[in-house]
Amino acid sequence: MADSNTARKILAIGLGSMGYGMARSAVRGGHMVWGQDVNAAQVSRFAEEGGATEPVPHGDLEAVVVTVLNAAQTEEVLFGPDGVVPRMRAGAAVMSCATVPPDFARAMATRCGEHDVLYLDAPISGGAAKAAEGRLSIMASGEPAAFSALRPVLDSLAETVFELGDAAGTGSAMKAVNQLLAGVHIAAMAEALTFGITQGVAPQDFLDVISKCAGTSWMLENRAPHVVTGDYTPLSSVNIWPKDLGIVLDIARASNFGAPLTAAALQQFVAAAGMGLGQEDDAAVAKVYARNAGLRLPGED
Amino acid sequence: MADSNTARKILAIGLGSMGYGMARSAVRGGHMVWGQDVNAAQVSRFAEEGGATEPVPHGDLEAVVVTVLNAAQTEEVLFGPDGVVPRMRAGAAVMSCATVPPDFARAMATRCGEHDVLYLDAPISGGAAKAAEGRLSIMASGEPAAFSALRPVLDSLAETVFELGDAAGTGSAMKAVNQLLAGVHIAAMAEALTFGITQGVAPQDFLDVISKCAGTSWMLENRAPHVVTGDYTPLSSVNIWPKDLGIVLDIARASNFGAPLTAAALQQFVAAAGMGLGQEDDAAVAKVYARNAGLRLPGED
């Protein structure tokens, strides 16, 4: 819990599945937190659950935490017509949490610097549940002053802060690496589970055995249960992956780096979105494999 | 340690990196173990290190453990010109450990049955170190009498025996599922680690961070250190994967099952073999990515 020395005035921009939990965690950490979102209902709900209700005092803010969908939205909320950075005081800090290209993070840091605003390149990992618990992993890079300014905020949001150097961009690069693996591993889980069905391996047996063998992954243990129980309530949705793997492949291509597994995984998520499953849990990529092979998954009629 | 009630007379066929360690573990477990291998030096070495030296008493054997490369070698040692099964007594048991197609396992069980020999479809997982320690995972299926006959042998070889039903084939199916994931995860690790290099993420930082994030896998934690240290001493070689992923894709195609990630991973291992890296540790698949992108890996000049 922050005391009077560490409590901060924070604006949380983006109150989606990650941002809402983070804003609540910041409140629980003793900070004064304003919420902002295109969805007015989310802003009202947050105000009812501990958020600050007065007009946002932009000139008094010590930190702005940005948890929007992508680079375009990040640029819009920072520097668009109603952008926050030009209204912030010198020495205040932006913590940017969306998955964005490293070059974009570097550009944002430079532009914030022109307003004497600090910038922490701080993509997050861990999912909505850990966001709500204040137990995220944060892959952060930026100048030491940005880390110092945001330390009490980071403490309220994260279980682990990976400090990846003093230049914006490295945090986003590490996040891209993590997303490459996470996306490939979800699709690989789906491919293996459905392949197993064709060979007489029941999904529950797949989970029981493979999670204890060399074929396991963090994503397999986290997502295969969704397929086994036929519950595709979105904890992280299919639509995340065409976006995040698209970022990976864009920056890979710009570096003349071929990423064939990532490319194959992306196509499976695109097919899932094409099947109308974009809002379902990302484990629903298993339905692409099942449809292509004429298989029935648990919970399907 | 087996006592006089559980000690078995065993023939271990195949004294390669897995089979040798398993044969030694069986000796340590109190069994009397003969070794057989195309490499006479391995047979001599095993005899010096605890193996039985008299002529193999085929008619007295209670178990034959087959740890050869593939289905063709398995069929050869069981039913070829010098095949062991026709010489075994009724009620003795074959434990077949190679990675083979499920249909092949079912055919072997049937043919063993014609000689009143029991058959356990028992692919293994865990690597050479665990084989030597008697701490393998075994994915086993077969009739209850086969499990009973082999129980003392299994106890000396395995930390975990997954009992996957009373019909040969299911063990091999589960092994194929595991190999699909293991192979894809090794290639994904290589893809992500080298992609990270293009974005300024050092291999050691990759390992330190990603192994604690949602992008991790058993294979990443096991194999990425080989790339980080530039040590490709083969614990499991590149050449395993064209074989094992080839089996997966063969049986997948026969079931009209498309496996795009597996297919992409296979091509990367084939390219590694084509680069002359077949005998190196399978983490050397990272060199395919590095060469294609003009990158330098740790330990390279």
Is the CB of residue B212 less than 8 Å away from at least one CB of chain A?
yes
Structure confidence by residue, pLDDT tens digits, B116-139: 999 999 999 988 889 999 999 999
What is the DSSP pairing of strand B124-125 with strand B136-140? antiparallel
Whether the Cβ atoms of residue A66 and residue A150 lie closer than 8 Å to each other: no
B255's CB contacts (< 8 A; 6+ apart) are A198, A199, A293
Strand ranges (DSSP E) for chain B?
9-13, 32-36, 63-66, 93-96, 118-121, 124-125, 136-140, 158-163
**A137: closest CA among B221, B220, B212?**
B212
Q: Tell me: the pLDDT tens digits for B236-289?
A: 899 999 999 999 999 999 999 999 999 999 999 999 999 999 999 999 999 999
pLDDT band at B235 (very low <50, low <70, confident <90, very high): confident
Residue B126 sits at the chain A interface (C-beta within 8 Å): yes
Query: Class of B9-167 per CATH?
Result: alpha beta
Pairing of strands B93-96, B118-121: parallel
- Mutation target vs B (from A130, A159, A193, A210; most B CBs, 10 A cutoff): A210
Query: For residue A178, what are the CA distances in angstroms to A74, A172, A174?
Result: 20, 10, 6
* Angstrom distances, CA of residue A100 to CA of A96, A170, A248, A286, B134: 9, 11, 9, 27, 47
pLDDT tens for residues A262-291?
Answer: 999 999 999 999 999 999 999 999 999 999
Q: Catalytic residues of A, which ones?
A: 175
Contacts of A189 in chain B (CB under 8 A): 181
Q: Does domain B173-293 have CATH number 1.10.1040.10?
A: yes
Q: Do residues A165 and A58 lie in contact, with contact meaning Cβ atoms separated by under 8 Å?
A: no
pLDDT given at position B174? 98
pLDDT digits (tens, 9 = 90+) for B189-209: 999 999 999 999 999 999 999
Q: Per the CB < 8 Å rule, is B199 touching A182?
A: no
Residue B52: enclosing H or E segment and its boundaries? none
pLDDT of residue A6: 85
Closest CB to B191 among A126, A173, A262: A262
Name residue B120's beta-bridge partners: B95
Residue A143 has phi, psi (to 5 degrees) of -65, 150
Amino acid in position A99: T
Secondary structure class of A133 (helix, strand, coil): helix
pLDDT along chain A (301 residues), means of 10: 81 96 98 96 96 93 96 98 97 97 97 98 92 96 98 97 96 98 98 97 97 96 98 93 96 97 98 98 98 96 69
- Token couple for A293: 């092979």
Look at residue A18 in the predicted model and tell me its pLDDT. Answer: 94
Give yes or no for A235 touching B (CB within 8 A). no
CB contact under 8 A, B198 and A252: yes
Q: How far is CA A169 from CA A268, A280, B80, in A?
A: 28, 31, 61
Is the CB of residue A102 less than 8 Å away from at least one CB of chain B?
Answer: yes
pLDDT of residue A2: 64
Residue spans of the domains in chain A: they are 9-167, 173-293
Mutate to test the interface with B, among A18, A164, A191 (most CBs of B within 10 A): A191
pLDDT of residue B128: 87
